[in-house]
Amino acid sequence: MSNYSYRILTKPARLRIEAGTDKAGGQAREIGGSGSGSGSTGSGSAPGASANSFVAGDRIQIDANKSVIKISHEEAKEENKDSQTLNEKGYFVKCLHLDKQGHIVKVETEEIAGTFDDRYLRKDKPDETNFKITFLQGADFGHFVEGFLGSGGRIDENGNCWFGGMRLRDFLEVPELRFNRIDVVSGELWNSIAFGLIEDVDTANRIVTLKLEEGERSGLHVNDFCRGLFHNLTGNETTAGVDACGFDKLPGFSTSYFMPVQILDNKRFKYNLKPGTTVHPCKAMKFAVYGNATDKARQSSAYHTRNYVRYLCDVDTWEIKPQHIGVQMGDLSGLVIDGENLGRKSIYLDNVYFGKNILQTPGLKESLKGKDAYTVGLDRYSQAYNSANGGVNQITFTAFASKGGQPLAFSTVSGEGKFTLSVKSVSGCTVAQAGASVRFTSFSSTSTGTVVVTVNCEGLVSYQLSFVATRVADGSPGDPGKKGDVVRSVYRRSASQPGYPQGNPPFGWQFDPFAGTNPLWMSQATFNAAGEVVTSWSYPVRITGDAGLPGTNGTPGPMPSMRGTWDSNKTYNGSSFFVDVVMYNNRYYRAKPNAGVFSGVHPSNPNKWELLNSFENVATKLLIAEEANIAGWLFNKNYILSQNRNVGMDGSADNKPRFWAGSGYAGRDNAPFRVYENGTIVAKEGQIGGFMIREESLTNTSGHKVNGAWTGLQLSPWGFIHLSDSNNNRSAMMTHYSSPVTQNALLTLRVSREDDGVPAEFFNCFYSASGSLRGFCVTAQNLGDASWYRRICITASHMPHRNQAVRLPKWSNSDINDPEFYEVLWDRRSGTFVIGNIR
261-280 pLDDT, tens digit per residue, is 999 998 999 999 998 888 99
Read off the pTM.
Answer: 0.33
Which of the four pLDDT bands, split at 50, 70 and 90, describes residue 743? very low
CA 380/CA 801 separation, integer angstroms: 110
Enter the DSSP assignment of 296.
G
Residues 378 and 497 in one domain: no
Q: What is the pLDDT of residue 466?
A: 92
User: Ramachandran region of residue 396, left (φ > 0), alpha (ψ -120 to 50) or beta?
Assistant: beta
CB within 8 A of 393, min separation 6: which ones? Answer: 439, 440, 441
Range of the domain at 603: 559-611
Residues 222 and 337 in one domain: yes
Point out which residues pair with 301 in neighbouring strands: 312
Q: Which of 7-11, 72-76, 525-529, 548-552 has the highest mean pLDDT?
A: 525-529
Residues 604 and 701 in one domain: no
Which residue has better confidence, 187 or 369?
Answer: 187
CA 288/CA 271 separation, integer angstroms: 14
Residues 219 and 290 in one domain: yes
660, with CB counted inside 10 A (0-12, 13-18, 19+), is buried
Q: Quick one: average pLDDT of 496-516?
A: 88
Q: Which of 14-28, 356-370, 632-646 has the highest mean pLDDT?
A: 632-646
Q: What is the pLDDT of residue 629?
A: 66
Which of the four pLDDT bands, split at 50, 70 and 90, describes residue 481? confident
Which of the four pLDDT bands, split at 50, 70 and 90, describes residue 424? very high
- Choose one of 64, 87, 116: the last residue of a domain: 116
303, with CB counted inside 10 A (0-12, 13-18, 19+), is buried
- Amino acid identity, position 69: I
Backbone phi and psi for residue 83, each to the nearest 5 degrees, phi listed first = -95, 0
Task: Decide if pLDDT at 568 tops 90.
Answer: no
**616 lies in some domain:** no
* Dihedral, 58, 59, 61, 67 alpha carbons, nearest 10: -120
Q: Quick one: average pLDDT of 640-652?
A: 80
* Residue from 699, 740, 744 nearest 722 by CA: 699
670, 676 Cβ separation under 8 angstroms: no
Point out which residues pair with 687 in neighbouring strands: 692
Residues 398 and 458 in one domain: yes
How large a percentage of the chain has pLDDT more than 90? 20
Enter the DSSP assignment of 367.
G
Backbone phi and psi for residue 639, each to the nearest 5 degrees, phi listed first = -135, 160
Residues 394 and 526 in one domain: no
Q: Quick one: average pLDDT of 1-29?
A: 42
Q: Which of 193-207, 372-386, 615-629 has the highest mean pLDDT?
A: 193-207
Q: Which of 86-95, 470-479, 768-777 is predicted least confidently?
A: 86-95
**142 lies in some domain:** no
Task: Decide if pLDDT at 209 tops 80.
Answer: yes
pLDDT tens for residues 296-349?
A: 899 999 999 888 999 999 998 999 888 889 899 988 877 777 656 677 788 888
**40 lies in some domain:** yes
Residues 499 and 567 in one domain: no
Q: Quick one: average pLDDT of 12-30?
A: 39
Q: What is the pLDDT of residue 458?
A: 86
Q: What is the pLDDT of residue 265?
A: 92
- Choose one of 87, 116, 145: the last residue of a domain: 116
Q: Quick one: average pLDDT of 147-163?
A: 86
Total tally of structural domains belonging to the chain: 8
Q: What is the pLDDT of residue 184?
A: 64
Which of the four pLDDT bands, split at 50, 70 and 90, describes residue 744? very low
CA 439/CA 441 separation, integer angstroms: 6
**703 lies in some domain:** yes
Residues 645 and 525 in one domain: no
* CATH code of the domain in which 427 resides: 2.60.40.1080
Task: Decide if pLDDT at 131 tops 90.
Answer: no
Task: Decide if pLDDT at 664 tops 50.
Answer: yes
Which of the four pLDDT bands, split at 50, 70 and 90, describes residue 433? very high
Backbone phi and psi for residue 776, each to the nearest 5 degrees, phi listed first = -145, 130
**501 lies in some domain:** yes
Average pLDDT value over all residues in the chain:
75
Task: Decide if pLDDT at 500 tops 70.
Answer: yes
Task: Decide if pLDDT at 364 tops 70.
Answer: no
Q: What is the pLDDT of residue 13?
A: 47
Residues 15 and 92 in one domain: yes
Q: What is the pLDDT of residue 451?
A: 93
Q: Quick one: average pLDDT of 473-478?
A: 82
Residues 421 and 441 in one domain: yes
Q: What is the pLDDT of residue 93?
A: 66
**126 lies in some domain:** no
Q: What is the pLDDT of residue 492?
A: 92
DSSP string, 445-508: SSSEEEEEEEEEETTTEEEEEEEEEEEE-PPPPPPPPPP--EEEEEEEE-SS------BTTBTT
Which of the four pLDDT bands, split at 50, 70 and 90, describes residue 19? very low
Q: What is the pLDDT of residue 273?
A: 93
- Amino acid identity, position 505: P
**769 lies in some domain:** yes
Residues 258 and 317 in one domain: yes
628, 641 Cβ separation under 8 angstroms: no
CA 560/CA 643 separation, integer angstroms: 29
Element (DSSP H or E) covering residue 116: helix 112-116
Q: Quick one: average pLDDT of 690-715?
A: 58
How large a percentage of the chain has pLDDT more than 70? 67
Backbone phi and psi for residue 97, each to the nearest 5 degrees, phi listed first = -110, 125
Q: Quick one: average pLDDT of 469-475?
A: 84
Residues 224 and 259 in one domain: yes
* Dihedral, 383, 389, 393, 394 alpha carbons, nearest 10: -50
pLDDT tens for residues 801-832?
A: 444 434 445 445 444 445 555 667 777 777 67
pLDDT tens for residues 752-793?
A: 666 556 777 877 887 776 666 677 788 888 777 777 777 778
Half-sphere exposure of 201 (CA within 13 A, CB side): 18
